[in-house]
Structure 1
Amino acid sequence: MQAIKKQIPNLITLLNLFSGCVALVFATQDNFEWAFYFVCLGIFFDFFDGFFARLFKVSSPLGLQLDSLADMVTSGVVPGYVMYAMLSKAQVEITASVLFPYLGFVVTLGSCYRLANFNIDTRQTDSFIGLPTPANALFILSLPLVLQYSDSLMALEMLTSQWVLLGLILGSAYILNAEIPLFSLKLKKFTLKDNIIQIVFLLFSFLLVLFFHFAGIPLLILFYVLLSVVNNQWIKK
C-alpha cells in the first residue's frame, strides 16, 4: 500500500506533463482556447501532486525533479510557443526577419532557468522569489484569447504590436527570475489570520474573471505581484 501511495503524486505530475503536451498540440493548431484550458488542467495537477505528496508523507527528490520537468513543458514550452505564434502574426514594426518570432522562446529559456533555480533555492519552501511559471503561463496563454474575444481597439493594437509583444517577452523572463518575494497560495495552516492575503487574492481574482473574463487573467497576475509587494512592505513595518 505504501508503494502505491508513493507513486500517486508522481502519477499526478505526469498528468500535468500530459496536459502540457496536449496544450502544445492545440497551440500549434492555433486553437489557443483549448491550449489555455489544458494548461489550466496541468496547473491543477501541479497543485495537487504536492498536496498528495504531503498528505501521504511521500515527498521525494524524484518527485521534485518530475515536477519541474512537467512544468517545463506545461508552463515553459507552451507559453514560449504561444509568444512565437503571436510574434509571427504581429504587425511588422521592428523587422520582417523570419527569425524574429523565435524570440518568443525567450519565455521558455526564462522559465527553464527559474525552474532549475527553484530546485536548489532553499528560500522558496513557503513562498516564491520571482513569478512562478504557472502564473506566467496563465498570463501569456490569456493574451491570444484577449485578442480573440476583446472588442477593445487598444487591446487589438497592443497585442498585434511587435514592440509590445517583445516587451512582454522580456518582462516575463525578468519577472520569473526577479528577486521579488511573492506569497504562495498553498494553505499551510487552516486559520483565517494565517491565510488572509490568500483569501483576499482569491476573492478578487474571482471578481476579475467574472467581470472581465479572459482579460481578467492578466489583471489578476499583475494584482498578485502588486499585492505581494505591498505585503512585503507591510511585513517589514
Structure 2
Amino acid sequence: MTEAKKTEHLLDDEDSEVLEPVRPRRKGIYILPNLFTLAALFGGFYAIVMAMNGRFEQSVYGIFCAMVLDSLDGRVARMTNTQSTFGEQMDSLSDMVSFGAAPALIMYEWALKGLGKWGWFAAFVYCAAAALRLARFNTNLAVVDKRFFQGVPSPAAAALVMGLIWVLDDAGYKGVSQDPQLSWLAFGFMLYAGLTMVTNAPFYSFKDVSFKRSVPFITIVAIALLIAVINIHPPIVLFSLFCFYGLSGYVVYGYKRMKGKPVSVIATSTDEPDEKGLHH
C-alpha cells in the first residue's frame, strides 16, 4: 500500500470514529430515598388487603407506618443529597395510594357500605380531594409559604380518618357498617377530612423545625412527657392530637381574619416568604 493510500485509509478511519453516534449516558435512580417511598406504598397496599379481610386494626397500623416512612423519605433525600424529579413523582403517587385511595376504601369497607350510594359518595369525595390536593401542592410548590400547608396535608387527613377507626375498633365496636349512627359519624369524618384538604386554611407544616439546632432543656422534658402521655392510651391520645391538628388551620384562619392579617399561604414571589409577602 502506498503512502497516499495509507493516509487516505487513516483519514477514513478518523471520519468513521467522528461520525459514530455517541450513546447517551443512562440516568440512574437513587435507591435509598425511593426505598422509603416504596415501603410507604407497601404500607398503604397492606392496609387495603387487611381491610378486605376485616382486620381493621392492622389497616390502621399500615397507614401509620406509611405516614412515618413518608415523612422520612424527603429528609433522607436532602441529607444524602439524592433529590430527584423521579423521587418527587414517586412520592406523590405513593401518597395518592397510601393517603388517598387506601383510607377511602378502608373506611367504605368499615362503615360506609351500609349507607349505600351515600357511602361511596363520601369515599369518592375524600379520594378525589386527595388527588386534587396533591396536584395543587405539586404545582404551587415554588410559591407557597413553607411554614404552612395550603389545606390539611393528605397524611394528616388519613390519620384523622384512620384514627376514628382505631378508637372505635379498640373500644370493641364491630360491624360498624350495620350501625346507622356510627356510619353517619364516619360519613361526616370523611367529608370533613376530604374537604379540608382542598381548603385554603393554613396548617402549620413544621418544616421550619430544625433538628440540628440546640434547644432549651425544657423542650426535651416536654417531649418526654408527651411520649409518656401517648403511652397511657395511644388510640385516644393520638386521635385527639389528630383532631386538634385537623381543626388548627381553621383556628389560625379565623384568628388572622379577626386581626386583619393575610390568611393565604400563597406568596407573591418565590423568595423566602414572610408575612408581608403574602396576599389575601
Asked if these proteins are the same fold (TM beyond 0.5), I'd say: yes
Task: Indicate yes or no: 2:120 matched with 1:102.
Answer: yes
In structure 2, distance between residues paired with 1:223 and 1:171: 13
Which structure dedicates a bigger proportion of its chain to helix? 1
Q: Give the TM-score taking structure 2 as reference length.
A: 0.67
Q: Report matched runs for 1:16-31 at 5 Å.
A: 16-31=40-55
Report the secondary structure of 1:58's partner residue.
Answer: coil
Distance in 2 separating the partners of 1:132 and 1:119: 12
Give the partner amino acid of 1:99. K
Which residue is 1:121 aligned to?
140
Q: Could you tell me the percent identity over the aligned residues?
A: 28
Rounded Cα–Cα distance in structure 1 between residues aligned with 2:225 and 2:166: 21
Cα distance in 2 between the residues matched to 1:112 and 1:47? 19
Deviates more, 1:60-69 or 1:143-152: 143-152
In our comparison, the structure showing a higher alpha carbon Rg is 2
Q: Residue in 2 aligned with 1:223?
A: 244
Q: Secondary structure at the match of 1:161?
A: helix
CA contact (8 A) 1:208 1:217 kept: no
Report how far residue 75 of structure 1 moved.
0.8
The whole-number CA distance in structure 2 between the counterparts of 1:50 and 1:124 is 18
Q: Which amino acid aligns with 1:172?
A: A
Please report how far the alpha carbon of residue 166 of structure 1 lies from its aligned counterpart in structure 2 after TM superposition: 2.2
Match among 222, 230, 241 for residue 209 of structure 1? 230
Aligned ranges 1:158-177 → 2 under 5 Å: 160-177=181-198
Q: Which residue number in structure 2 is paired with residue 33 of structure 1?
A: 57
Kindly state the Cα deviation for residue 126 of structure 1 after the two structures are TM-superposed.
Answer: 4.1
- Cα deviation for residue 36 of structure 1 reads 1.0
Deviates more, 1:37-46 or 1:161-170: 161-170
Q: Identify which of 55, 63, 75 aligns with 2:87.
A: 63
Write out per-residue CA displacement over residues 162-201 of structure 1, whole angstroms, 9 at most, x where no aligned residue: 43222222211111111111122343362448xx8xx97x
Shift of 1:151: 7.0
Shift of 1:114: 0.8
Distance 1:191 1:133 in 2: 30
Deviation at 1:88, TM superposition (A): 4.0
Cα distance in 2 for partners of 1:222, 1:58 equals 34
Of 201, 208, 213, 1:190 maps to: 213
Of 150, 161, 169, 1:148 maps to 169
Pairwise CA RMSD: 3.5
Give the Cα separation in 2 of the matches to 1:140 and 1:15: 21
Cα distance 1:111–1:178, how it changes in 2: closer, same or farther (>3 A)? same
Could you tell me which runs of 5 or more consecutive residues in structure 1 were left unpaired when the two chains were aligned: 91-95
| 1:135 Cα offset (Å) | 1.1
CA distance in 1: counterparts of 2:120 and 2:110, whole angstroms: 10
Q: Is the 8 A contact 1:131 1:182 kept in 2?
A: yes
2:111 corresponding residue in structure 1: 87
Question: Is 1:5–1:58's contact at 8 Å kept on the other side of the alignment?
Answer: no
Residues 72-110 of structure 1 show CA distances to partners (whole Å, capped at 9, x for unaligned) of 1111111101221233465xxxxx6x4332122321111
